[in-house]
């Protein structure tokens, strides 16, 4: 017997189309705010996935364990910042005071190159920085913030958002977090959705471990190599090289170019030292970091990684630049578990049915 109050199929389709249209319109109108929240949730999820295995070592309620781990993470991050900043504040300040002279040397070098290459307008350091800013920018903003104070405030707010969000995610069990999402998922896709989240959590965890390990190795190796080469600003440039590891392919290359520009304003031997350091670090990455850590998470061709990094940077700005690989991992996991695997299973089932029918005939 048909339910007299059942909604006709055409009404359901129109209602679904209307809801989707409203969601897409709101997403377009409030894209900066929505993208900031989504990327913040992704960053908090990465931290939660990386720290979640530590919960089993802390007795007591899950919420208390999450709070202890979150506060410990904040304390460790603060201690590392103090350990780096206090002893090195004076040397870095001295090097920054010498930036005007270094900038003059760089401008002279760029002027020489412009004359040799027959450029109509000579290159300058300010123009290069402006070009990089425009390349990695979106319509509503720029890659670099207006002042150092704004940049520091934005970083602190983002870190607080991510750390506090990760604590809340760790404090709740997976079933509690997934229940609302699973209600919106068709029943036949729920097992695949759970499997996707399990695999994605593992990939994000290994990506974070690999990234932090790679950043540390590259920073130490760069600092040693630049110091041996006698490069000025060795520590800040090594720190830039280490931080550049969070942006695969693009980050290390840009950090090496910056270091070579500084070296070119010094001497030819410094340039050779920077080139040898960069080549050695890339070899170290290829045979140590990627095989041991990153390949457990990132199974994407380097060319795809390069183009996707630029694409997400253009879409989301700096957060997209830093979270390009996790975005790829999330999209790749969704496509694999919600489309490819169900299709392969369906094709396999169809082939078995056809084989069984052929045998009976």
**Domain encompassing residue 237:** 187-361
Poorest-pLDDT segment among 259-268, 285-294, 306-315: 285-294
Within a domain: 116: no
For the chain, what is the radius of gyration of the CA atoms?
Answer: 26
Within a domain: 330: yes
Specify the number of domains making up the chain. 2
Q: Are residues 264 and 334 in the same domain?
A: yes
Q: Are residues 93 and 193 in the same domain?
A: no
- Do residues 67 and 167 lie in contact, with contact meaning Cβ atoms separated by under 8 Å? yes
Within a domain: 108: no
Q: Are residues 151 and 212 in the same domain?
A: no
Q: Provide the CA 108 distance to its chain's centre, in angstroms.
A: 36
Q: Are residues 155 and 297 in the same domain?
A: no
Identify the pLDDT of residue 138.
Answer: 45
Poorest-pLDDT segment among 101-110, 132-141, 162-171: 132-141
Within a domain: 102: no
pTM of the model: 0.73
Q: Is 70 exceeded by the pLDDT of residue 210?
A: yes
The position carrying tokens 């059942």 is 6
Mean pLDDT over 236-249 rounds to 82
Within a domain: 105: no
Identify the pLDDT of residue 298.
Answer: 62
Identify the pLDDT of residue 132.
Answer: 63
Within a domain: 70: yes
Q: Are residues 13 and 48 in the same domain?
A: yes
Identify the pLDDT of residue 18.
Answer: 82
* Residue pLDDT, tens place only, 330-358: 888 888 888 888 888 888 777 777 777 77
* Residue pLDDT, tens place only, 3-59: 445 556 677 678 778 878 887 888 778 887 788 888 888 888 888 888 888 888 888
Separation between Cα atoms, residue 46 and residue 201, nearest integer Å: 8
Q: Are residues 217 and 317 in the same domain?
A: yes
pLDDT band at 150 (very low <50, low <70, confident <90, very high): low
Q: Mean pLDDT across the chain, nearest whole number?
A: 76
The dihedral built from the CA positions of residue 247, 245, 332 and 19, taken in this order, carries a sign that is negative
Q: Are residues 192 and 330 in the same domain?
A: yes
Q: DSSP for 108-174?
A: HHHHHHHHHTT-SS---HHHHHHHHHHHT-BTTB-SS-SSHHHHHHHHHHHHHHHHHHHHHHHHS-H
Q: Is 80 exceeded by the pLDDT of residue 117?
A: no
| Beta bridge mates, 138 | 141
Mean pLDDT over 227-232 rounds to 85
SS3 content of the chain, % helix, strand, coil (to 5): 85, 0, 15
Separation between Cα atoms, residue 222 and residue 242, nearest integer Å: 8
Within a domain: 263: yes
* Residue pLDDT, tens place only, 174-191: 777 777 777 777 777 788
Poorest-pLDDT segment among 56-70, 199-213, 286-300, 306-320: 286-300
Q: Which pairs from 171-174 meet CB under 8 Å and 24+ separation?
A: 171/62, 171/63, 171/66, 171/67, 172/62, 173/62
Q: Are residues 252 and 293 in the same domain?
A: yes
310 phi, psi to nearest 5 deg: -65, -40
Tell me the longest C-alpha to C-alpha distance in the chain: 89
Q: Are residues 81 and 199 in the same domain?
A: no
Q: Give, rounded to a whole angstrom, the gap between the first and last alpha carbons of the chain.
A: 39
Within a domain: 296: yes
Q: Are residues 242 and 150 in the same domain?
A: no
pLDDT band at 93 (very low <50, low <70, confident <90, very high): low
Q: Are residues 346 and 226 in the same domain?
A: yes
Q: Are residues 264 and 357 in the same domain?
A: yes
Count CB neighbours of 333 within 10 A. Answer: 20
């Amino acid at each position: 017997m048909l339910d007299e109050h059942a909604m006709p199929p055409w009404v359901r389709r129109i209602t679904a189309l209307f809801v989707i249209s409203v969601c897409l319109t709101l997403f377009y109108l409030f894209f900066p705010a929505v993208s900031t929240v989504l990327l913040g949730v992704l960053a908090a999820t990465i931290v939660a996935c990386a720290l979640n295995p530590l919960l089993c070592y802390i007795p007591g309620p899950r919420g208390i364990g999450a709070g202890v781990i979150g506060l410990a993470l904040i304390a460790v991050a603060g201690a590392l910042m103090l350990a780096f900043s206090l002893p090195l504040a004076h040397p870095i300040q001295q090097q920054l005071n010498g930036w005007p002279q270094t900038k003059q040397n760089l401008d002279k070098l760029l002027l020489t190159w412009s004359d040799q290459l027959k450029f109509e307008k000579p290159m300058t350091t300010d123009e290069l920085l402006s070009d990089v800013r425009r390349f990695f920018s979106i319509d509503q903003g720029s890659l670099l913030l207006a002042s150092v104070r704004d940049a520091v405030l934005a970083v602190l707010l983002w870190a607080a958002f991510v750390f506090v969000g990760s604590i809340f995610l760790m404090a709740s069990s997976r079933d509690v977090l997934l229940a609302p999402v699973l209600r919106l998922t068709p029943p036949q896709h729920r097992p695949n959705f759970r499997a996707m989240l399990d695999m994605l959590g593992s990939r994000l965890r290994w990506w974070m471990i690999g990234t932090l390990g790679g950043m540390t190795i590259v920073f130490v190796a760069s600092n040693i190599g630049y110091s041996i080469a006698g490069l000025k600003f060795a520590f800040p440039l090594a720190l830039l090289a280490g931080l550049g590891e969070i942006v695969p392919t693009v980050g290390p290359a840009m950090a090496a170019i910056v270091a070579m520009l500084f070296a070119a304003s010094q001497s030819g031997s410094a340039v050779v030292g920077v080139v040898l350091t960069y080549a050695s670090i890339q070899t170290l990455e290829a045979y140590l970091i990627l095989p041991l850590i990153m390949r457990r998470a990132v199974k994407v061709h380097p060319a795809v990684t390069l183009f996707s990094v630029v694409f997400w940077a253009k879409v989301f700005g700096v957060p997209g630049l830093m979270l390009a690989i996790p975005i790829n991992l999330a999209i790749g996991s969704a496509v694999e578990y919600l489309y490819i695997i169900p299709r392969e299973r369906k094709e396999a089932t169809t082939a078995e049915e056809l084989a069984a029918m052929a045998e009976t005939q």
